Amino acid sequence: MLWYLGRRLLQVIPVFIGATLLLYALVFLRPGDPVAGLGGERGLPEAVQQQIRAQFHLDQPFIVQYLYYLRGIFTFDLGDTFTGRPVAEVVAEALPITFQLAIMALVIETVFGIGFGLFAGIRKGKLFDSSVLVLSLLLIALPTFVTGLVLQIVVGVNLDWLPVTAGRDPDFYSLLMPAIVLATTSFAQILRLTRTSVIENVTADFVRTASAKGLPRDKVVSRHVLRNSLIPVVTFIGVDLGNLMTGSIVTEGIFNINGVGGTLFEAIQRGESVTIVTMSTVIVLVYIVANLLVDLLYAVLDPRIRYA
């Protein structure tokens, strides 16, 4: 088990180098000159532009720029953004709030997705099942900015039930609506995944055996049906944590949350490679860790799976 963990963690190193190199190359290949756009229509004085290029090594070849970046990582000094703030500070400021939002969304979609999915799967073909199916289809089809803006105007402005925007230092209450919006699509997918899986398992031999030996129905459902149905769902949830962290760009914009999304978006617009690469790399690392957790969870859910 420990050996397995160690091996998995070692894999992070090549993934990290590969991801940063690839991301850096992509930003570098972005056409245009980021410094030229800094001054608006008029542009900055040429001398000022040249000094900015020199400061950020933008006049150097790609590989040199990349090595400067790696040096920055290993000396814990990533330098400044174009606006003159330390990159590390900007990234460290944006991450916690996005992480909090992602976790809230994850809890919402998991609890409701699995709950509704289980209920629908057990009562396959009944009214609840059919209506939930239609609803989930609708939620999958609606893009986040539609659900976000509609909820914001209806629940926030018209009904006044929840804050319209999260603002600074948002509490649980003001993050609730953004989290719900962020969770909608995945909620529908988890619901459908759980439902299908439950339907399969309900007719499986071991469930029939459990029922036949007189186990109460709720125990059959919770111990046998649900547990066995969760493996595909857990896989999905693991990957989804990464999606939630990146997919929050739209949601964060709508609800004015000062997180990864807005920071990343502005950095991309400005062609600020150090910020883009650092932020994306952190997200890559979140993916890796989430996937590792998922793999470990498999063993808990299904005792037949063992890691060595």
Partner 1 sequence: MTPRKRLLGLGAFALASSLVLTACGGGGGEEPPAEGASTGIVTVGNGEPQNPIIPTMTNEVFGSKVTGNIFAGLVYYDAEGVVHNEVAESIESDDNVVWTVTLKDGWTFSDGTPVTAQSFVDAWNYGAYGPNAQNLSYFFEPIAGFEDVQFAEDQLDAEGAPKEGEVPASETLSGLEVVSDTEFTVTLSQPESDFPLRLGYSAFYPLPESFFEDPEAAGEAPIGNGPYVLETWEHNSLIELRPNESYEGDRVPQNGGVDLVAYTDEDSAYNDLLDGNLDIVTNVPASAFGTFEDELGDRAVNQPAAVIQVINVPEYVEGFQGEAGLMRRQAISMAIDRDQVTETVFSGSRTPATDFTSPVINGWSDDVEGNEVLDYDPEGAKALWDEAEAIEPWGDEPLYIASNADSDHQSWIDPVCNGIRDTLGIDCEFDAYPTFDEFLDARDNNEIKGLFRGGWQADYPAMSNFLGPIYGTGAGSNDMGYSSEEFDAKLTEANGETDPDAAIELYKEAQTILFQDMPGIPLWYNNATGGWSEAVENVVFGWDSDPILYQVTKSE
Look-up of token digits 């071991």: 206
Residue 46 interacting with partner 1 (CB under 8 A): yes
Residue 73 interacting with partner 1 (CB under 8 A): no
C-alpha 181/C-alpha 151 separation (Å) is: 8
**Nearer residue to partner 1 within complex by CB, 86 or 216:** 86
Cα dihedral 163/167/171/177 (nearest 10): 40
User: Binding residue for partner 1 (CB under 8 A) from 9, 26, 36, 64?
Assistant: 36
Residue 53 interacting with partner 1 (CB under 8 A): yes
Exposed/middle/buried for residue 276 (C-beta within 10 Å: 0-12, 13-18, 19+): buried
Residue 263 interacting with partner 1 (CB under 8 A): yes
Residue 92 interacting with partner 1 (CB under 8 A): no
Strands (E) across 99-158 are located at none
Judged by CB under 8 A, the stretch of 79-87, 108-116, 213-221, 239-247 that binds partner 1 is: 79-87
List the beta bridge partners of residue 140: none
- Nearest-approach distance from CB 88 to partner 1, in angstroms: 13
Q: Which two tokens stand for residue 153?
A: 């105007």
User: Binding residue for partner 1 (CB under 8 A) from 11, 83, 131, 222?
Assistant: 83
Interaction mask 178-217, partner 1, x per CB under 8 A? ----------------------------------------
What's 223's DSSP letter?
Answer: I
C-alpha 57/C-alpha 39 separation (Å) is: 19
**Nearer residue to partner 1 within complex by CB, 73 or 268:** 268
HSE-CB of 229 using CA atoms within 13 angstroms: 31
Residue 34 interacting with partner 1 (CB under 8 A): yes
User: Binding residue for partner 1 (CB under 8 A) from 5, 26, 137, 149?
Assistant: 149
Nearest to 272 by CA among 131, 85, 130: 85
- Nearest-approach distance from CB 108 to partner 1, in angstroms: 21
Exposed/middle/buried for residue 303 (C-beta within 10 Å: 0-12, 13-18, 19+): exposed
User: Binding residue for partner 1 (CB under 8 A) from 8, 253, 285, 289?
Assistant: 253
Residue 157 interacting with partner 1 (CB under 8 A): yes
Residue 28 interacting with partner 1 (CB under 8 A): no
C-alpha 164/C-alpha 153 separation (Å) is: 8
**Are the C-beta atoms of 144 and 181 separated by less than 8 Å?**
yes
Q: Name the phi and psi angles at 80, rounded to 5.
A: -110, 160
Q: Which residues bind partner 1 (CB under 8 A)?
A: 30-48, 50-54, 59, 82-85, 90, 93-94, 149, 152-153, 156-157, 160, 163-165, 167-169, 252-256, 258, 262-263, 265-266, 269-271
